Amino acid sequence: MAMKGYLDEYEKLVIRMNTPRVVIDNGVCSSATIVKVDSSRRNGILLEAVQILTDLNLSIKKAYISSDGTWNMDVFHVTDLNGNKLNDQSVLRYIEQSIETVYYGENIEVNGLTALELTGTDRIGLLSEMFAVLSDLNCDVVDAKLWTHNGRVASVIYLKDCISGAPILDSHRISKIEGRLKNVLNGDNDVNSAAKTCVTVDSMMHIERRLHQLMFEDRDYERRSKKHERSPMVVVTVQNWAERGYSVVNVHCRDRTKLLFDVVCTLTDMEYAVFHATINTAEDQAHLEFYIRHKDGSPISSEAERQRVIQCLEAAVERRALEV
């Protein structure tokens, strides 16, 4: 019995040691609220913290990310969208509780809904045609988010049956929905531009992260044309710091909400770990610097990989500028 009690206390200690600790301070900085997160090192923990802040429509003016062996320390300078410090105690408590419990989700309630994922060729009138098909098939659109980039489109749409209000579960009906929409999305006979559809029920995905993933899987970052040339407003550089074994990524672009989320989301989904980072904004400009490695501890190893990182981060910044 004593041994069991000892193990219980040990397990509690392990949980306390690995749970992120959040300190929020409104007195240190005159222009922003400081959110400091100390946590054991784990892949994705930075993205989860940034996601919580951006889902609250907060603006991250500065950030300092540092990893010391097995421990992370992340410091965020945040304001509301009007540039004011955070004084609502319920918001401050929510930030603390959400990060400490590693909340992972978005504000939409998806239980009892059917999630429809779509990628295909973008064109004028596409959205109205998609919704007309869904209406014809007696699907009620509860929520939807759609991005376009480099001639491609990705969308996540939450549906339920118009009559019963229940999720759509019938496999024959789901196949019919997918087939009709795939015909609408196919822009030409090029296999690389073929539409893809996927239906899931009770999905707990984060919509915007999933949109980044869908665009990435669709390789929208590779599709360049005169109409979709690289934006001069987004400058991404990648260099190796051989002495320390890091790859150093710099992103300079116009500042906007959710910028840090978009960049960290892309690095995470490309399976890079962020060890150190500095984010600074001034007026309408943002400069982000990341020290990254592969999960196995190695830096970027080839010119082809370096160019791919540049293209993917440019695309990540550009997609939201075209958000519908």
Q: Which CATH class is domain 114-205?
A: alpha beta
Does residue 197 carry a pLDDT above 80?
Answer: no
User: Mind listing the pLDDT tens digit for each residue in 166-180?
Assistant: 888 888 998 899 889
Range 18-100 has CATH code 3.30.70.260: yes
Confidence of residue 14 (pLDDT cuts 50, 70, 90): very low
What is the C-alpha separation between 75 and 96, in angstroms, rounded? 13
Beta strand spans in 51-187 (E): 59-68, 71-79, 114-121, 139-149, 152-161
**Would you give the distance in Å from CA 224 to the centre of its chain?**
23
- In this structure, of 1-10, 147-156, 205-214, 295-304, the range with the lowest mean pLDDT score is 1-10
The architecture in CATH of the region 235-321 reads 2-Layer Sandwich (3.30)
Domain segments of the chain as ranges: 18-100, 114-205, 235-321
CB atoms within 10 A of CB 29: 15
Assign 304 a pLDDT band (cuts: 50, 70, 90).
very high
The alpha carbon dihedral of 232, 238, 239, 243 has a sign of: positive
For 126-163, the pLDDT digits (tens) are: 999 999 999 999 999 998 999 999 988 999 998 999 99
